[in-house]
Structure 1
Amino acid sequence: MFAGNGDTVALIGLSLGLTYLVFKFVHNALTSPMRYLAGPRNPSFLYGNVFDEKNISSDTVETWVGAYGSTFKVHGLLSVNRIWTKDLDAIHHVLKNDHIYHKPGPARHTLSRLLGNGILVTEGAEHKLQKRVMNAAFGASQIRQLTDIFYAKSILLRDVWASEIVESATTGEVEAFDGLNKATLDIIGLAGFGYNFNALNTEGKMNELYEAFATIFQEGTPTPWEILQAMIPALRVFPAFPGKAFHKAKETMARIGNELLSEAKALQKGTGEKGDTTAKDLLSLLVRSNMNDELPMEQRMSDADVLAQVPTFIVAGHETTSTSTTWALYALSLHKDVQVKLREELLDVATIQPSMDELNALPYLDAFVHEVLRLYSPVPVTARKATKDDIIPLREPYTDLKGRVHNQIPIKKGQALSISIYAVNRDKTLWGPDANVFRPERWEKIPEAVKAIPGVWGNLLTFSAGNHACIGFRFSLIEMKVLLFTLIRAFEVDLAIPAENVKIKSTGVIIRPMVEVDGKELAKLPLVIKAVNSA
């Protein structure tokens, strides 16, 4: 009965939703154990401290830590209070106890609407099942087989950039963020599910899956009504009202995804066009693992859940790596001594396509990548929400607004938390007074204190920790190293604009380099490149 009157439904739902949120805000303010926890003032009922957190360039985080310590209170959308922490004991407790602390429901709802029920969305037993099956596709031996794809697209990007160099001047200008975005999209398409996006093609023609994916994220931006539905589960009984373009894009993604899944199954059975089971993309490896005769039926993923990993691969394995590699080129353009030292090591390699093991054996490249991912972690914060009452231990006690010292935090069911990856990776009490300085040499002998960081890789929190740690971290690291190996051997890089014009800002969930163009801030990194052999 609501189908023909969307405005009325939305208005009723909006009124009910706002009433509920006002009641919840007042109730929490009066009863929450967090009401005496210090923190920055709330500048806006609607947006809380959200915009302050996004503006990484303003040193907001460091200012907050200096004023309130390692654990304090901030305000999210609609002034919902969140515990913000960089305390290592608290982080270890939260990430270890994933049966208590789940990713927030609103974020999971929004992601599931866009991507389906993939590993980024699921929790509990369902998440463990998906991860158990998917682990077989993300092991070191499997990633080792994908390096040819990484090199093919890295070399294509190198050649595209080389074409921008003016022969008479021996230099050219490229948009690094855009180029790396296209290269990593092509890589995840082929390595992830055997699909070529052709994003790097010189004609600029995008195929229908790329267009559908772009539409999903453009048209899928939540409306105020959909944000309320995400925050208040009871409102989800009312319909959302996405446009026709969104529906068409979802249908396209489902159709192509089913085709890819069917082909992966046929290859596993030996009945596909190739007549074998040699496909090495992640989707084929996942299907192979899921169809293993030794795996009980109750421990297998459904076709719908396997299919949901296709857009999940694109989201998780695309822009995070392109952004990290962009920051790597930014760091090299600022630190010419590092650039020279890194290039010398890379040029000393005899082959133009070293194996994964050979890349990992290059000490300065490894130290450089560690330092990039420390100082410019692409995801600055990971959020959780308590599913029941709990007590979180603290390594660093906090003093509340009444002057009382606390060694632990009482948590009520429903309490939201923010774990600051950015702050941990730049913490001066862990890394020393030069924590904000880009210095790869620190990895020759890291401080003893950082060994307490509960990360899945490299004494960093960049890829998170616990059962929800990034399953594709090996994929991302080798892809990044291949891109850097190929590009830095070929080009000297320098910023095409003043360094102060590049801002470090969080847009959504990722920290991107932002440049002002015609009054608007856009994710860009313009570089001047010079061919190494003409230097």
Structure 2
Amino acid sequence: MQIFLPLKPPVVIVGDYEEARDILMRRCPREFDRSKLLSDLLQGALPDAHIMLRTDDTFRGHRRLLQDLMSPSFLRDVAAPNIYTQAYQLVRLWETKARVAAGRSFDASDDIFKAALDAVFGFAFGPSWPHSALQPTIDAMGELTGTSGEHRHDVENSPVAFPEGESDEVVAATLGLIAAVEKVQGSLSMKLTWGLLSLTPTLRRARRVRDAYVVKALRDAADLVNQASGHSRRLRVASAVDHMVLREQKMADNAGRRPDFFSSAMRGELFGFIVGGHDTTSTTVAWGVKYLADHAPVQDRLRDALHSACLPAKTQRRCPSAVEILALRAPYLDAVIEEILRCGGTTPGLDREAMVDTQILGHAIPKGTTVLLLTQGPSIRSPPMRVDDHLRSATYVSSAKGAGHGRSWSDHDPQAFCPDRWLVPSQDPHGQTMDQHVFDSTAGPTLAFGLGPRACWGRRLAYVELRLYLVLIVWNFHLSACPPELSSYSSIAGVTSKPKQCYVRLTKLGL
């Protein structure tokens, strides 16, 4: 369909999964590339990060700075321990809240949001990072006195309200910049809205604080690199900023130039971890706890699968470690994560711009047209559309037969939350079907992370984060369904599409 907005050129929305797949995988970036839509949305909070750039030499230079940050070794040895620490903090906070709430619901969105921010802080800046978004809430909970009854409401189904501590300057500035994006989202002119917000003391201060802590982190990492080279020893990489500084040093040496540790690209990409990696994870975890609470059989089966896959932790009555969680061979865990991603719709649309005059399903698309590809559309969350192949592009027609053509969830209700759709019968080396089932990420259509050359760069990190958070939550708590008035699946548009309501009713499980 085509929509017309005031003061804006028309926008084309593509609902058909096969056409979206063709555009993303075969027609990017020659015919379609990143649109200006995302840069208009994020420019005031996230300057000069590769997520907003076209696929050109500047984009490729940014990506070289980030090379190997998504490697299995970096994710296992550097990212996972930092993320696990923050996920465990969330578990400890919820243990206290569950005890005080005594079976009542409470709002979990802020806790998840701040825990994910701390996790990405740890990934970006390392374990010695002194600022915590969640710690003030933990401190405030520690100051509660008396019995749980003193903190309960009179109305039976009303949620329990808990105190929150005051965020420090760094956390407040970061949260303020993310909140500003939500104010800009949906405005008639995002550039104009950013211009008006830039006149406010609050946003100006938030930007100053952001720039100061990003530059300080880069300076500290550069000092460590210089000290290590001066003593002829290898620097132990403990964060993304350490890795980026080392990459810049290596690229500068190879090019015979002085390293620029404080370039716009270095600063933009470092803060990009915070904006891009935090909101997406927190939103997906929020959708996840809602789906698990409302689908008790799925939750119970997942917990049994985790216990079976990590017997040492279950036998020793302890939480599994980060190493154990990443090493888990639990197909049902992978299936649950994939289904949460499919149903949650953290990113409801993928933006592209026509780089040349082209066509979509037989319709002329002029150069410069913004195209939105639905991630929750037909074939993914509803039955597929009927489209004549003669309307499709030459790249679709000439692509290898059987490479995903006509994929749909014909054997499963696409509207249902059903992790089993991602499990397929395993086969022995001779092609014979076996009784056990294995996880197959290609079992059916999904666009949770996009596809093709501009697919989500942080996909591997997101899976690590989701695995650590969901395992620790399900291992430690039973999530019960909340009252209907607290269980809406309506969403709020911001950096991501997050649930309007994310309440939980928790029962602490014995380890």
| TM-score, structure 1 as length reference | 0.72
Find the counterpart in structure 1 of residue 125 from structure 2. 193
**Kindly, what percent of the aligned residue pairs are identical?**
20
Q: Contact 1:102–1:384 (CA<8 Å) still a contact in 2?
A: yes
Q: Contact 2:17–2:380 (CA<8 Å) still a contact in 1?
A: no
Equivalent of 2:82, from 149, 169, 174? Answer: 149
**Match runs of 1:359-508 below 5 Å:** 359=327, 361-392=329-360, 394=361, 408-423=362-377, 424-429=379-384, 430-432=408-410, 434-445=413-424, 460-498=446-484, 501-508=487-494
Find the counterpart in structure 2 of residue 321 from structure 1. 281
User: Residues 92-126 of structure 1, C-alpha deviation per residue, up to 9 Å, x if partnerless?
Assistant: 44324224423332531342232110112221221
For structure 2, the 5+ residue unaligned runs are: 140-164, 314-319, 385-407, 426-440
Equivalent position SS for 2:272 = helix
**Deviation at residue 243 of structure 1 after TM alignment:** 1.5
Distance 1:282 1:457 in 2: 33
Find the counterpart in structure 2 of residue 529 from structure 1. 506
AA aligned to 1:267 is L
**Deviation at residue 272 of structure 1 after TM alignment:** 10
Distance 2:246 2:363 in 1: 45
Equivalent position SS for 2:507 = strand
- Residues 135 and 89 from structure 1, CA distance in 2 versus in 1: closer, same or farther, beyond 3 angstroms? farther
User: Residues 406-438 of structure 1, C-alpha deviation per residue, up to 9 Å, x if partnerless?
Assistant: xx3322112121100111532423112501111
* RMSD (Å) for aligned C-alpha atoms: 3.4
Q: Contact 2:41–2:181 (CA<8 Å) still a contact in 1?
A: no
For structure 1, the 5+ residue unaligned runs are: 1-71, 395-407, 447-454, 515-523
Is the aligned partner of 1:139 residue 2:71? yes
Find the counterpart in structure 2 of residue 402 from structure 1. none
Q: Which structure has the higher relative contact order (CA within 8 Å, separation 6+)?
A: 2
Q: Contact 1:216–1:249 (CA<8 Å) still a contact in 2?
A: yes
Q: Contact 1:370–1:458 (CA<8 Å) still a contact in 2?
A: no
User: Residues 67-113 of structure 1, C-alpha deviation per residue, up to 9 Å, x if partnerless?
Assistant: xxxxx223345464222113345324432422442333253134223
User: Residues 134-190 of structure 1, C-alpha deviation per residue, up to 9 Å, x if partnerless?
Assistant: 1321212111112222221111111111112337x8645432222111111110001
Q: Contact 1:359–1:481 (CA<8 Å) still a contact in 2?
A: no
Q: Contact 1:171–1:531 (CA<8 Å) still a contact in 2?
A: no
- Residues 188 and 273 from structure 1, CA distance in 2 versus in 1: closer, same or farther, beyond 3 angstroms? farther
- Residues 512 and 139 from structure 1, CA distance in 2 versus in 1: closer, same or farther, beyond 3 angstroms? same
AA aligned to 1:437 is A
- Residues 188 and 469 from structure 1, CA distance in 2 versus in 1: closer, same or farther, beyond 3 angstroms? same
Distance 1:297 1:239 in 2: 43
User: Residues 437-458 of structure 1, C-alpha deviation per residue, up to 9 Å, x if partnerless?
Assistant: 1111111129xxxxxxxx9999
Is the aligned partner of 1:210 residue 2:164? no
- Residues 254 and 367 from structure 1, CA distance in 2 versus in 1: closer, same or farther, beyond 3 angstroms? same
Is the aligned partner of 1:84 residue 2:18? no
Moved more, 525-534 or 275-284: 275-284
Distance 1:338 1:427 in 2: 21
Distance 2:19 2:465 in 1: 32
Q: Contact 1:135–1:471 (CA<8 Å) still a contact in 2?
A: no
- Residues 457 and 139 from structure 1, CA distance in 2 versus in 1: closer, same or farther, beyond 3 angstroms? farther
Find the counterpart in structure 2 of residue 243 from structure 1. 200
**Match runs of 1:312-351 below 5 Å:** 312-348=272-308, 349=310, 350-351=312-313
**Deviation at residue 295 of structure 1 after TM alignment:** 4.4
Distance 1:346 1:222 in 2: 40
AA aligned to 1:113 is G
AA aligned to 2:367 is K
Distance 1:363 1:219 in 2: 39
Distance 1:197 1:77 in 2: 42
Q: Contact 2:32–2:353 (CA<8 Å) still a contact in 1?
A: yes
User: Residues 210-234 of structure 1, C-alpha deviation per residue, up to 9 Å, x if partnerless?
Assistant: 111233344567679x9547389xx
- Residues 147 and 220 from structure 1, CA distance in 2 versus in 1: closer, same or farther, beyond 3 angstroms? closer
Distance 1:165 1:240 in 2: 39
Q: Contact 2:346–2:498 (CA<8 Å) still a contact in 1?
A: yes
Equivalent of 1:158, from 86, 91, 111? Answer: 91
Distance 1:296 1:143 in 2: 28
Find the counterpart in structure 2 of residue 256 from structure 1. 213
Find the counterpart in structure 2 of residue 37 from structure 1. none
- Residues 310 and 458 from structure 1, CA distance in 2 versus in 1: closer, same or farther, beyond 3 angstroms? farther
Distance 1:198 1:327 in 2: 23
Is the aligned partner of 1:230 residue 2:188? no
Distance 2:216 2:41 in 1: 25
AA aligned to 2:172 is E
- Residues 341 and 272 from structure 1, CA distance in 2 versus in 1: closer, same or farther, beyond 3 angstroms? farther
| TM-score, structure 2 as length reference | 0.75
Q: Contact 1:324–1:373 (CA<8 Å) still a contact in 2?
A: yes
Moved more, 471-480 or 128-137: 128-137
Equivalent position SS for 2:510 = helix
Equivalent position SS for 1:135 = coil
Is the aligned partner of 1:103 residue 2:103? no
Equivalent position SS for 2:337 = helix
Distance 1:120 1:356 in 2: 32
- Residues 126 and 364 from structure 1, CA distance in 2 versus in 1: closer, same or farther, beyond 3 angstroms? same
AA aligned to 1:289 is R
